[in-house]
Structure 1
Amino acid sequence: MVALRPLEATLDDVCFCHWPVARERAEAVVPDWLAVETADGDAWVSAIAATVERVDLFGVTVSRPAELLTVRTYVRGPSGQRGVAVLALFCDDPRTRTAVSELFHVAPGDAVPRVLPTSERRRVLDAGDRRLFECRYEATGEPVALPPDSLASFLVDRQRYFAAGPLGTRLVGSIGHDPWRLDRVDAAVTGAPPAPVELSGENTISLTHHSPGVTLSLAPPAFA
């Protein structure tokens, strides 16, 4: 008999955009009980845009397909566990938006993530008639496993998330999944999603990864 996971989200066409930032800028926007983790001398903030094909609760599908964009940074918890802190989220489906917001204890933003129907893959984040963020990309080659101890592994493969609950409660949740597999990708990024850390600017550079998709098993947060 196959054991049913309490909450599973199936993601498709996952685009990761990463920006290096000064460590002190990331420290200013996460709870003081979390330690910001660095790679190549920098803290990192990432925007992950994906199509949520389905959300299953104990094996029953509870949501329709939705576009989701989350912004996160990389941290260690009180016992040194590696994870992420979610800084912002945006979704075009009210039910999925509410579920993700409650899971990560982050208020959702008003901007709307979309995938534009063109021959070139284009993920965007719009606020009314204003475009805040756009990533154009083309994935090539067969997906491959993440190289261990690489920057890609540091930025993509995280299995915990931390959040501040009511009255500053320290919370940690787990994220289970099969190993991520990444395509080679050519990408161009314009702008950046709204986040507590400023990401756009003349000297800002970004790094991009792409995965065809994965299914995540998400555990609600417990006391850290």
Structure 2
Amino acid sequence: MTQTWDDLLFAHWPVPAERIRQFVPPPLEVDTFDGMAWIGVIPFEMNEIRLRFLPVIPYTVPFPEINVRTYVIAGGKPAVFFLTLDASNPVAIRAATWTYHLPYYSAGMTIKRTAAGIDFQSERKGRAQRFDAIYRPVSEPFTARPGSIEHWLTERYRFCCVCRRTQRIYGGDIYHEPWRLQVAQAVIRENTMADLYGAEMSKAPVHLHYAQGVKAWIWRCRRMFG
């Protein structure tokens, strides 16, 4: 499968590893940078979902999405561990939940491009999780240097999650060109997306980056570790 991810904000907060450990089942290992685990809140717009050699899947794009993630070692490789994903497209949610076992939730969402930046709003249906922000890039694009925190947070080519239905760990590999990041500014008007996981969402993110977008190739999701 291929997807295009556009107008991304990478907002990251440090969190003690012992606090996030309860949400990351063994044998996955919580990955740390300078002794701290990290939680990311990543809003963006999803585009051009295609199965191999086929046109864009009808009724799926474009739509806003936001994911909450932390970072793990899975099968010896650095990986993204999805805690939750919110999207506004019911067809895409149903397909991703059954095909990739991802923990998606339905949300009312908008994304608007304005002169001031990308205005993104999300409210999970029937839940307390909300995100309301406007963000924009404020630097020239750059490729993260290996060994840097930017590289550690963003250059990961494996994902995994716990299937809500079966409580088993699933994962898969992805590929895209290295991120062309830009330092970002954001006015976060409300953010309760990761309160449950111990990140202090009331504080400004420690790291803020923007990416215009990438095309990603996503391989088959499989059950991991038995």
Q: Residue 11 of structure 1 is aligned with which of 1, 5, 11?
A: 5
Structure 2 equivalent of residue 171 of structure 1: 170
Return the offset for 1:164.
3.5
Of 88-97 and 182-191, more deviation after overlay is shown by 182-191
1:216 aligns with 2:190: no
More moved, 40-49 vs 91-100: 91-100
SS in 2 for 1:67: strand
Q: How many residues align?
A: 217
Instruction: Provide the residue aligned with 1:101 in structure 2.
Output: 97
SS of the residue 1:41 aligns to: coil
Q: Which residue of 1 aligns with 2:30?
A: 36
CA–CA distance in 1 between the matches of 2:105 and 2:151? Answer: 28
Q: Where do 5+ consecutive residues of structure 1 fail to align?
A: 1-6
| CA-CA distance at 1:168 after TM superposition | 4.7
Instruction: Please tell me whether the aligned partners of residues 75 and 82 of structure 1 are also in contact (alpha carbons under 8 angstroms).
Output: yes
Amino acid at match of 2:45: T
Once residues 194 and 46 of structure 1 are traced to their aligned partners in structure 2, the CA distance between those partners, rounded to angstroms, is 10
The 1:222/1:211 distance shift into structure 2, 3 A limit, reads same
- SS of residue paired to 1:28: helix
The match for 2:88 among 81, 89, 92 is 92
Partner residue, 2:15: 21
* Greater alpha carbon shift after TM alignment, 154-163 vs 167-176: 167-176
Deviations 1:113-154 (A, max 9, x none): 3214532222222257x8822232221343221111110111
Q: 1:124 aligns with which of 110, 121, 124?
A: 121
Whole-Å separation in 2 of the counterparts to 1:61 and 1:214: 16
Q: TM-score, normalised by structure 2?
A: 0.84
Give the fraction of aligned pairs with identical amino acids, expressed as a percent: 26
Please say if residues 136 and 188 of structure 1, whose CA atoms lie closer than 8 Å, have aligned partners that are also in contact: yes
**Normalised by the size of structure 1, how large is the TM-score?**
0.85
2:73 maps to amino acid: R
2:56 equivalent to 1:61? yes
Residue identity matched to 1:162: C
Q: Contact 2:137–2:183 at 8 Å: present in 1 too?
A: yes
Deviates more, 1:12-21 or 1:190-199: 190-199
Alignment partner for residue 152 of structure 1, among 145, 150, 153?
A: 150
8 A contact 1:83–1:161 mirrored in 2: yes
| 1:19/1:214 CA distance change after superposition, 3 Å | same
Aligned counterparts of 1:80 and 1:127: Cα–Cα separation in 2: 34
Cα separation, 1, equivalents of 2:28 and 2:21: 8
